[in-house]
Structure 1
């Protein structure tokens, strides 16, 4: 199949993916400031990113499958209005409860990236599908990690609420660009919404490659969430005495790791995907070993974060190349299964991170992160093709 995906359109889709997914992660470097303003503990405020990720998982289940049922562009542009409303609600929060509810809806609505990924896979030619997925996913990871840098700096100087006002403004600009440039794609599914949701379970039951990819992805993203949820607490401890700005600057380290992993999509187009995943998981395990020994060492944290993000994105990109092989017409529902488990794993990692930090501090965080990486390796070796 000849590619219908120009370089300019692919870049716009990657930017969209990064900017929208960033909404889910602005809060992480700001947790300390939020806790101080509302007068609550760090463990209590850590439920803000957890609820965002839970909302995201539910949005994946209820909204993303609609990409197989309705015109893609119309669905995307409509969803932007709800994202902007949720961002403004967070900015105007008057209590931790309102902030948590708003955070849930930010996650629920910011699922556009998971419509963009299968859209890119559909528009790309077979021989360039992995490359296209890798480019869009690199945009997503840069958004996840760059959001921390941006929100950390803005939060340090202008307060955490300004970050959400800024995010709402960026969504308005992006809406206009997409209305102008994004092509329309007709849906493949002809049934009812109930039948659409029921068919998601059938995808899970009938596709063993999807099941193991989703399990790997969920465990993989738990490793990611454990680190980034607790990093700001470690940096604010007496060992470093830093703030949200420095926590946000760690996003630059993660971006470097994500950029290094951008070649993985090309490798996955022609290499042994299981071998790529095995090596990537071993990198994640090694990175947690370095991080665990770096509770007082900023250089160790930087090196560990770099390789952690490299390994995590490598697993993720290769997983998605596997599940979209053959360009199946039910691509949005396949992506729904994968991403629901992916972000459920992220929410679990965030929840566990808050607990282990509260009771065991950084040592417990490192043990939890390494344990999830080890479970990922076991699952991969037992159930890989």
Structure 2
């Protein structure tokens, strides 16, 4: 009995199969098992399959599912921080060597973004995301059972490498959402990712304080299995990008990588968005990194659990950002929405660092809210603007890479500034970056076509009904002489 139905999916698969048979008669090798699995529409519930007259568009269900998936996947990168000391004791290594675990997780994640996320413009998203989610589940099971430090670190790198599904879901939502709801939808998925950053540190700290450290990994494995089931049951099978493109996989993939590089140097809105994302992520990473040392020392002398509870402030900001996106980012130009957040950051940093002991513990709490909420507004505003004008998946690769580099730079510089000058100098560093970000966003107006200037006026309010049509990318046009994937 056939697994396929007489619908658009069947026609697409049939055409792919014909191209593959023709390619093999010309000496083209048979596609690998992995390629056939990713390009297949099998194992898809009927309600998730493409059918004549039914298109899977934007709805609240896919946004919430993407937000949950992003939270679970992002959390995998942060469970390890509160358990490093116990993991080091268990494996019989020093704490400094155990610090390789989060470094390898983050390193694998960065490499996965660069080399796996472009596959979202080659394969259909459902089988690709399911494959990555299932691979993450398998490597995470290995982490739960790893008998040695060497095995654990290797699996940590592989886990980070395949945990990139949020960076495929984010541009999908940015593409599906109508212009008047794009910022809210994107902010909800980003909020899920931020939940995945904030909650694991608190939960892992509590669980590890009273039970063996591996238990938090088993809890995470359960969440990962739930995610696999939910994605299989409810994630729609969206059409393959550019189905008329008959280029070989290698040629198409290399063209996509090349187009990503060209976009970064040819599209002003993307370049400005990347600079803003780099700077605001540097501020955020620097703050949360140095906050631990600040709270652990005098006059607070907090323990790990109390320090970890500060991450709960991030939960509050993730709730407020979609609200701000709905009422401000969707209605006003990116520079205006970003400026408000940067001013909030500057004010709260100044109140904490330059009012002495007047605010006491209220100072760090106020700054945590101002930094975590204020700087994220820039990322949301510019992502929404870029997704309106450019191919979302490729733009997101550059965005995320800049955010990742910004976090690394912010962590390194922030630690150095704190070690040499203390908390107040870190505040100066954060204010300087916020002011630099404001300078950048005011170099180019929202209606300017070139790299600098304000041609066309201030354009304070957005005209969401006039979203620019995305232009086809170079190197992604159909080539009738090329063989299919």
Q: TM-score, normalised on structure 2?
A: 0.70
Distance 1:6 1:278, change over 3 A: same
Counting only pairs closer than 5 Å after superposition, residues 180-329 of structure 1 correspond to structure 2 as 180-189=233-242, 190=245, 191=247, 192-237=252-297, 239-266=299-326, 267-292=328-353, 297-326=360-389, 328=390
Q: Is the 8 A contact 2:74 2:163 kept in 1?
A: yes
What pairs up with 1:162-177 in 2 under 5 angstroms?
A: 162-177=215-230
Partner of 2:195: 142
Q: Deviations over 1:136-164 (max 9, x none)?
A: 22222222222222222223222543323
- The 1:94/1:315 distance shift into structure 2, 3 A limit, reads farther
The count of residues paired between Structure 1 and Structure 2 equals 381
User: Which whole-Å deviations, capped at 9, do the CAs of 1:332-378 have from their partners, x for residues lacking one?
Assistant: 11111111111111122223344445555544544443343333233
Alignment of 1:130 onto 2:183: yes
The aligned counterpart of 2:131 is: 78
Structure 2: which 5+ residue stretches go unaligned?
1-54, 447-485
Which of residues 147, 160, 164 is equivalent to 1:111? 164
Q: Output the aligned Cα RMSD.
A: 3.0
Instruction: Select between 77-86 and 56-65 the one with higher mean Cα deviation.
Output: 77-86
CA offset at residue 383 of structure 1?
A: 4.7
* Structure 1 counterpart of 2:62: 9
Aligned residue number for residue 26 of structure 1: 79
Q: Deviations over 1:60-115 (max 9, x none)?
A: 11111111110101111111133234434555567776665544433322211111
Aligned to 2:395: 334
C-alpha distance in structure 2 between counterparts of 1:77 and 1:149, whole Å: 28
Number of the residue aligned with 2:231: 178
Give 5+ residue unaligned stretches, structure 1: none
- Partners of 2:132 and 2:260 in 1: CA distance: 21
- The structural deviation recorded for 1:30 is 4.2
**Residues 284 and 93 of structure 1: CA distance in aligned 2, closer, same or farther (over 3 Å):** farther
Distance 1:320 1:110, change over 3 A: same
Superposition pairs of residues 354-365 of structure 1, within 5 angstroms? 354-365=415-426
In our comparison, the structure showing a higher alpha carbon Rg is: 2
50-59 or 99-108, which deviates more:
99-108
Contact 1:56 1:343 in 2 (8 A): no
